[in-house]
Structure 1
Amino acid sequence: MVKSRFDLNAIIDLKKWHKLQDSLSLVTKMAIITVDYKGVPVSKHSNCQSFCQGVRKDPLLSQYCQKCDARGGLEAVRLNKPYIYLCHFNILDIAIPIIIDNQYIGAIMAGQIKLRDPDIPLLEQIVSRPANSETNNKFKTLEEDYLSLPVLSFEEVSTIADMLFHLCTYIVEEAINKHSTIEMYKKAVSLDTDPPSMDSIVSSDRTYRNIQAIQNELSSTLIETKVKKFTSHEIRPSNRLLQPAFDYIYHHKNENVTLNEMAKLCHISSSYFSRIFTKETGENFSVFVPRLKIEWSKQLLETTELSINQISDKLGFCDAGYFIKTFKKFENLTPAVYRNIYKNNHVEQM
């Protein structure tokens, strides 16, 4: 299986996750355990039934339990939805995949129940266990525990499976957003910039409502750092009327600024702004701003792994296609080709 770029064990708060998992187990009457993309448990087993505890303690039978968990998880990934199946003792289990951005990062394994329905749907027993006297004797010692397993209808099982799927995916997705935000914060700090205060991040994180805004703010901070070589000497125009416009352009790189907006900011007419701007820079406003953004984009292409779409978005282009067209207009090659040439030249110089 391809390694996930997300580490479930590092992303979720295991202490809080255990509390949630225990509560879900009590409400659903199901045993629940969380595993990573390799099938390795990252949580304790909530409400594991006595019968299954006894089986999993047996060196021989536990191997079949592990095979059931592994195959159930793989089938859930293939289907991209909860997979309901029977284990080697014909006990119902559910594998609930956690998939974020098309990446399988783990699964919730729930179940250890029997079905109430007289007409049981055709469920697959994904691992068969050859009968022998040793396993039969083991079952007899645990038969009372087997009979005491919780009983649910198939409709109840299906509803619980869907609920766990949507709930856990949402929680993990939000945790990943938080994790990404913190990583961006650390990166911003390491680059000696002035990122937002950690207090504001922690406060927002408590409700998850402002994570996207924080990410955008941090992303802008990182862009400011990466293009600082082009902005360390801010323009001081000879005509001081233009200063507000230059300040705004340099400090709002992610916006698609217009001539009319800048003229209004400088408290002059658009026609007069256009004339004095061209006189100051030697270029029309419609040429100067895109050229400046292309210079910034070159720095991002050289020093980050941001995609073309991300760079286009962060520098305020309406779409990636327009960004590529503008880049080619000024540089006579595409952003992707520019990045490859830079990387090749950089490798040769090392």
Structure 2
Amino acid sequence: MISNTMINEIAYDFSMATGLAVLVVDLEGNEISPRFNFTALCEKIRTHNSLFEVCKRCDRVGGLTSLQEQKTIFYQCHIGLIDFSIPLTIKGNLIGFIQCGQAKVTDKNQIPVITHHKHNWQKNNELLSLYEDIPEVKMRKIVSSSAILTKIVDNYLSEKLVLSQLSDGGHTKHNIEQNNTLTKYKVEKALDFINKNIASELTLENVAFHIDLSPFYFSRIFKKHTTMGFNHYINQQRVNDAKLMLTNKDMSVSNIAKSVGYNNTSYFIKQFKKQCNMTPLEFRNNTPVL
């Protein structure tokens, strides 16, 4: 948590005044403030480890996209709620993002989905009921709220906030010193491309080409950002997506294998068992429907 209470007080007051959820995250999408005015759905979603990881990725990609575009970007999270992100800088150093929203709006057809993942949360009756309980709001309210918070951040908070050390002993300071925003954006763009095309043939070369980097340089920054090699990440992501799809009892293992990019079902089972210490069917039989 941020020990300086100024940002928490502003986040709390803004969330209470607008009815929107507010959260401050670091450059990796990790929560570094309390959760203000969270919906019951989002609180519940974040108790599922696999879905929580997707939440963090939405926060991370949303923040970096807003920074790259140099304007507030409105987007749909993986659940279909509307969020927006405002970069938080202290003395010119990017330290994280203020995430706001969790709003259900009707006129969202033109708002992009920030990241694509295969999961079946709608098949969980509790989650679906919590989604239906969220009141609908007009997109105009979200736009106006973002304009107010942007003015607060740009004209007051960024100048006045003195950031204290985090309780983990300087994690934010380390992020400031190590941050290369353009590199992070490139890697996030690559990760988004991978997630959208997980069923396709993915190679280091074609992903590097997509983000306009040489394969050699892309391989280096990818491993630095994700702490694993490219092929390892692809297999891990495919298995993670498969785990979510396995909660759908109607899908066969062979169809799931093809849906996540494995043409050979036996190889898929081998990779799955390597990562999970059990076969896909064993996982399905021991996992409740999300």
TM norm structure 1: 0.43
CA deviation vs aligned residue, 1:6-44 (integer Å, no higher than 9, x gap):
xx947xx22x43232222111111100112334332210
Q: In structure 2, what is the equivalent of residue 105 of structure 1?
A: 95
CA RMSD of aligned residues (A): 2.4
Superposition deviation, residue 147 in structure 1: 1.3
Deviations 1:58-94 (A, max 9, x none): 1121111111111111101111222110011111111
CA-CA distance at 1:169 after TM superposition: 2.7
1:69 and 2:52 equivalent?
no
Distance 1:87 1:74 in 2: 14
Secondary structure of 1:111's counterpart equals: strand
Aligned to 1:129, which of 117, 124, 128? 117
Instruction: List alignment gaps of at least 5 residues for structure 2.
Output: 164-290
Does the CA-based 8 Å contact 1:80-1:97 persist in structure 2? no
Give the secondary structure class of the aligned counterpart of 1:76.
helix
Q: Would the aligned equivalents of 2:24 and 2:32 in 1 still touch at CA under 8 Å?
A: yes
Distance 1:30 1:165 in 2: 15
Residue of structure 2 aligned with 1:20, choices 10, 13, 17: 10
User: CA 1:156–1:128 in structure 2 vs 1: closer, same or farther (change >3 Å)?
Assistant: same
**Structure 1 residue ranges without an equivalent (≥5):** 1-7, 180-350
Matches within 5 A, 1:173-322: 173-176=158-161
Count of matched residue positions in the alignment of Structure 1 and Structure 2: 164
Whole-angstrom CA distance in 2 between matches of 1:141 and 1:9? 33
- Aligned residue for 1:163? 148
User: Aligned equivalents of 1:115 and 1:136: distance in 2?
Assistant: 18
Give yes or no for contact 2:41–2:130 (8 Å, CA) kept in 1. yes
Q: Which residue of 1 aligns with 2:26?
A: 36
Q: Is residue 88 from structure 1 mapped to residue 73 from structure 2 by the alignment?
A: no
SS of corresponding position for 1:142: helix
Q: Find the counterpart in structure 2 of residue 45 from structure 1.
A: 35
Amino acid corresponding to residue 96 of structure 2 in structure 1 = G
Q: For 1:46, give the aligned amino acid.
A: F
Give the SS at the match of 1:41.
coil
Q: CA distance change for structure 1 residues 97 and 142 in 2, over 3 Å: closer, same or farther?
A: same
Q: Give the distance between the partners of 2:61 and 2:34, measured in 1 at CA.
A: 20
Change (3 A) 1:36 1:66: closer
For 2:35 and 2:72, the matched residues in 1 are separated by 19
Is the aligned partner of 1:149 residue 2:134? Answer: yes
Quick check: which one's helix share is greater? 1
**Equivalent-residue separation in structure 1 for 2:79 and 2:60 (angstroms):** 16
Structure 1 or 2, whichever has the larger Rg, is: 1
Take 2:31 and 2:74, find their aligned partners in 1: how far apart are those partners?
A: 19
How has the CA–CA distance of structure 1 residues 44 and 38 changed in structure 2, closer, same or farther, with 3 Å as cutoff?
same
Q: Offset at 1:170? A: 2.6
Distance 1:32 1:148 in 2: 19
TM-score scaled to structure 2, two decimals?
0.51
Give the AA of the match of 1:127.
Answer: T
